[in-house]
A and B are shown apart, each in its own frame.
Chain A
């Protein structure tokens, strides 16, 4: 597991402590605390987990266990432009896998990872409900329909 060492600034630590305080530092509220922390911080690096563990008086191992259990929680910073590819039935049948492979090849990252320049991250979604437009790809909030492997390069170019 690669780790980018992070130095938390004093202000950031204070913000984390504030979040924990808003839940009364109640260890039973761990999931809610992590949820809020991830929305403020963007992701949950080891340093943040240690602070949360300290504030809620639980072991870091326990916090780490919860973070790794839920797929929503991530320890990798999401890219500036998060790319999500729908893998629901209609999209899958219409070649979503090939589109995914093309994104992987172009960006040189795996699903769940973020590119080295921090610009793009790749994830898979379940059905988004736009089956008439299959295969569907989301970049941030923007929806792209009828995406073909050949069109992947174009989409990426829009954000470079």
Chain B
């Protein structure tokens, strides 16, 4: 790459000729402030619309100020990133933004985590002298996401995530000038659109325009209700990220303290979604083996590849976009839902209470899980299997509000019988984990042999689409893995066009898998955090004594006492589901 000479803030440097001013400055430790710019480089997402104008800098010979994030450097360029003119302009830019922004910081869900608030603080703004009309748009609520676009600064990050990365295409800027807003087509509500509730828009929104549907209150009321027994289940990805909200380094496992905190919050039983993940492997692994065996023995009717189905955003995606392929995902429910179903039958029976008096709360890295709880097929006589799902962020808030000193908590275990899990279950939280867990069980069930090596490193990684072949005692099984719905679409199009040679595919809607979910602590544009969480997940797996789902004694007990065997009639009733064609043009008949 060609190197050229430029001068930034009086320093002579050499930099790549293809760099922008922002990048060149960063190389020598000059961090020009930005607002709309976002670079998640581990996920290959660079969002640089040059829209907010906060990053403007002075370039000698140029009449107006240049936006550093999009202006390329050239030979001999002389740049000043903090002249009086630049500083004044930066203040004016943000003041103008604030002149049409609700002054709701005190009660805003994003307060303390808001990039705009931080920018105003950083610039020391005290008075907004620009008076004028303020935007007043309706607030749009859905099961998972709340849109309050009066707080939107038109950074367009949500559009990039939704349209370019996830290829769901729900959001677009509409109208012009003061009336411009980011909205779904025809300004319909989010819950009428093809939104999958993946929540990636929420995780990148710099203000409180896009936030999650907060269920903390409902959880508190349930905990306070003496007539209710409240149980909680925690997803694998939560334990690798919750610590960040309490000052721990990204990638610190806080499983023990998390269980301790939940106990002190007043949950009657602290269980683990990982238990249900082992259960999912039993059911899905059996289904996978059944389909594979039939296919390999020449059955023409059986459909392959088999697709994992634990991600509700992904299920939404396939229901909306590929409704003619609804017979290829596994019929197994997600761990969250399997847990709820078992808790309200098997466990409620053990306690001798009516399922309506059992409240099941889930802690999830995910916003789509909030929606998943509300799917009609996941309730019995109006009583949902999972009552509420709250995100990692909401749990952190709840712990802080309750004056629990997280860091000083002792490490505690989950309760039994729904709290014991294997290493295979915990890796559900990362891309590649679900299929690796399935393979560990399917291999042993199929071949009757014990695995020497439990780690399938060929299934691990961060690339958005990966392929691997696993040797099932002489039979090569081709596996595909995708994370990010745009990449899932690619794999599905391959299948549709008959170009796919895969036997099984794992799909996760969020970049990195659940560890990068819409409900996780904000990464503020630093994708190395997601990678660190992935390391933690694999570390917890390695540290466990039991690492294959079919070895979980409590799972075996559950089958023995209650379910019979995988894919039994009862298992089908409680732990399996079916999918719906949701493809719609809203108006065309």
Contacts and interface: CB of A to CB of B under 8 A. Distances in A.
A5 B163 contact: no
A45 to B, nearest CB: 8
Nearest to B169: A59
Given A1-B186, A69-B174, A69-B175, A62 B588 contact: no
B185 A59 contact: yes
A50 interface: yes
Contact of A64 (B163, B172, B585, B588): B172
Nearest to A64: B185
Contact of A47 (B172, B184, B588): B588
Scoring A7, A46, A60 by chain B CB atoms within 10 A of each residue's CB, the highest score goes to A60
Contacts of A63: 185
A59 B186 contact: no
A116 interface: no
Nearest to B187: A1
Contacts of A7: 589
B11 interface: no
Nearest to B193: A61
A45 B169 CA distance: 20
Contacts of B103: none
B585 A65 contact: no
B586 interface: yes
Contacts of B588: 8, 47, 50-51
Scoring B173, B186, B586 by chain A CB atoms within 10 A of each residue's CB, the highest score goes to B186
A59 B171 CA distance: 9
Interface string B176-214: 100000011111000001000000000000000000000
Interface in A1-22: 1, 3, 5-8
Interface in A39-76: 45-47, 49-51, 54, 58-65, 68-69
B23 to A, nearest CB: 29
B587 interface: yes
Interface in B120-175: 163, 169-175
Interface string A68-88: 110000000000000000000
B170 A61 contact: yes
Contact of A69 (B176, B183, B184, B589): B176
Interface residues of B, number: 20
B171 A47 contact: no
Given A1-B186, A46-B186, A62 B587 contact: no
A68 B169 contact: no
Interface residues of A, number: 23
Contacts of B589: 7-8
A64 B185 CA distance: 6
Given A1-B187, A49-B185, A64-B185, A59 B587 contact: no
Contacts of A69: 173-176
B169 A62 contact: yes
Contacts of A61: 163, 169-172, 183-185, 193
A106 B585 CA distance: 38
A65 B173 CA distance: 6
Contacts of A8: 588-589
A64 B174 contact: yes
Nearest to A13: B588
A45 B172 CA distance: 18
Contacts of B184: 61
Given A63-B185, A64-B185, A64-B186, A46 B172 contact: no
A6 B588 CA distance: 8
B174 A59 contact: no
A46 B586 contact: yes
A7 B589 CA distance: 6
Interface string B343-369: 000000000000000000000000000
Scoring A46, A54, A68 by chain B CB atoms within 10 A of each residue's CB, the highest score goes to A68
A65 B187 CA distance: 10
A68 B184 CA distance: 12
Given A1-B186, A49-B185, A59-B185, A65 B172 contact: yes
B171 to A, nearest CB: 6
A6 B163 CA distance: 28
B172 A59 contact: yes
A59 B173 contact: no
B172 A62 contact: yes
B171 A46 contact: no
Given A59-B163, A59-B185, A63-B185, A46 B174 contact: no
A64 B175 CA distance: 9
Contacts of B185: 46, 49, 59-61, 63-64
Q: Give 4 closest A-B pairs by Cβ, nearest first.
A: A59-B169, A65-B172, A61-B172, A60-B185
17 contacts: A3-B587, A46-B185, A46-B186, A46-B587, A47-B588, A59-B170, A60-B185, A60-B186, A61-B163, A61-B171, A61-B184, A61-B185, A62-B163, A64-B185, A65-B173, A68-B174, A68-B175
Interface of B: 163, 169-176, 183-187, 193, 585-589
Given A46-B185, A69-B176, 12 more contacts: A1-B187, A7-B589, A8-B588, A49-B185, A50-B586, A50-B587, A59-B169, A61-B184, A62-B172, A64-B172, A65-B172, A68-B175
Interface of A: 1, 3, 5-8, 45-47, 49-51, 54, 58-65, 68-69
